[in-house]
Amino acid sequence: MHPEARGREILFHHPLPVLDNPRTGSQIRPRRMLDAFRAIGYEVVEVTGYSSERVPMMKHLGRQIRDGRRFEFCYSECVTSPTALSDTHHLPTHPIADPKFFRTLKQAGIPSGLFYRDVYWRFDEYRRKVPLPKRFASAAFYHFDLAWYRQYLDIVYLPSLGMAASVPGSEGLNLKALPPGMSTRLTSDTQRTNTPSDGLRLFYVGSITPPIYDMTMLLSALKFLPKVQMTLCFPESELGIFADYPKDLTDLVEICHSSGPALDDHYANSDAACLIMGPHPYRDFAMPVKLFEAIGHGRPLVSNADTAAGRFISTEKVGWVFNDQ
């Protein structure tokens, strides 16, 4: 427990429920941040959930703040959709409720910061996948979010500062890097008892959907590395995508669809975690949760050099990086 945090109240804002057993990176981070604030001693007041839960909380807290209640700060985790469209029906039933709440914080002198998860909506893949009317509506609310961030937030955190170039109006934001953290999961089985003759076992967990997560480069390399054994762990919903890769490449790997604690055995049975994929501008700034998850399991990483993850791996000396050529 941090002595300066003990007993002090903070606000934790997130426009979705914070799950007890998160599965994806976008679910894991809010859970871990909330737990971390509590672990160091803060009294955390949650402002989370869908709008039907969140809006009454914000109105109640807003009244208390205007009457003099004080908090050390407010930390917010945004979601991949615009804030106003984060409900399951994706309709803007309370479009100004969250900005009004943060305006109240600013007027009361309560510092606020928000983690801005990604800008996938700025890339061609998003434009190709999302119908034009929905895309226009979403873009308007994405820009609306950024407008009130500039007006009311003290800090906006990014996975890496390289993302700033893709954020519209980033020059009007106070930007800081806040990459994912990790939970240490070292066990007595962390060190594999293999010998050089056993070969190398690599493990990849995440999406395999091109073009951002294109496995072709990695799978092609395996053709020339007979002593490398590769396990791909991806969502079962992407089996159709896996089938679209050339069969002579997919035959070279084992596959699984594990998540959460079920990943522990896969990490324990691997020598290194792999982040080698085809080049894409998105990966210039993306900092995958799985990078830090692998470190937490005591596994070195193998990655492309010219990516945010690769630069981190090289700088921190936690693995090996390779040029794409």
The whole-number pLDDT of residue 28 equals: 86
Q: Are strands 272-275 and 301-304 parallel, antiparallel or unpaired?
A: parallel
Give the closest residue to 270 by CA, choosing from 317, 225, 231.
231
Q: pLDDT tens string for the chain (325 positions)?
A: 566 777 799 999 999 999 988 777 788 889 999 999 999 999 999 999 999 999 999 999 999 999 999 999 999 999 999 999 999 999 999 999 999 999 999 999 999 999 999 999 999 889 888 999 999 999 999 999 999 999 999 999 999 999 999 999 999 999 999 988 777 665 545 555 555 557 899 999 999 999 999 999 999 999 999 999 999 999 999 999 999 999 999 999 999 999 888 999 999 999 999 999 999 999 999 998 899 999 999 999 999 999 999 999 999 999 999 986 5
The whole-number pLDDT of residue 26 equals: 82
Contact 154, 112 (CB under 8 A): yes
22 CB burial (10 A radius; 0-12, 13-18, 19+):
middle
The whole-number pLDDT of residue 1 equals: 59
Contact 51, 13 (CB under 8 A): no
The whole-number pLDDT of residue 188 equals: 47
The whole-number pLDDT of residue 324 equals: 67
The whole-number pLDDT of residue 156 equals: 98
Which residue has 């941040």 as its token pair? Answer: 33
The residue type found at 148 is W
The whole-number pLDDT of residue 115 equals: 98
Question: What's the per-residue H, E or C state across the chain?
Answer: CCCCCCCCEEEEEECCCCCCCCCCHHHHHHHHHHHHHHHCCCEEEEEECCHHHHHHHHHHHHHHHHCCCCCCCEEEECCCCCHHHCCCCCCCCCCCHHHHHHHHHHHCCCCEEEECCCCHHHCHHHHHHCCHHHHHHHHHHHHHHHHHHHHHCCEEEECCHHHHHHCCCHHHCCEEECCCCCCCCCCCCCCCCCCHHHCEEEEEECCCCCCCCCCHHHHHHHCCCCCEEEEEECCHHHHHHHHHCCHHHHCCEEEECCCHHHHHHHHHCCCEEEECCCCCHHHHCCCCHHHHHHHHCCCCEEEECCCHHHHHHHHHCCEEEECCC
The whole-number pLDDT of residue 24 equals: 76
Rounded Cα distance between 202 and 251, Å, is 15
The whole-number pLDDT of residue 317 equals: 97
- Determine how many CB atoms are found less than 10 A away from the CB of residue 26: 16
Rounded Cα distance between 187 and 321, Å, is 26
Q: Catalogue all structural domains in the chain, each as residue range(s) with its CATH number.
A: 9-177 (3.40.50), 196-322 (3.40.50.2000)
Phi, psi of 319 (to 5 degrees): 165, -155
pTM as predicted:
0.86
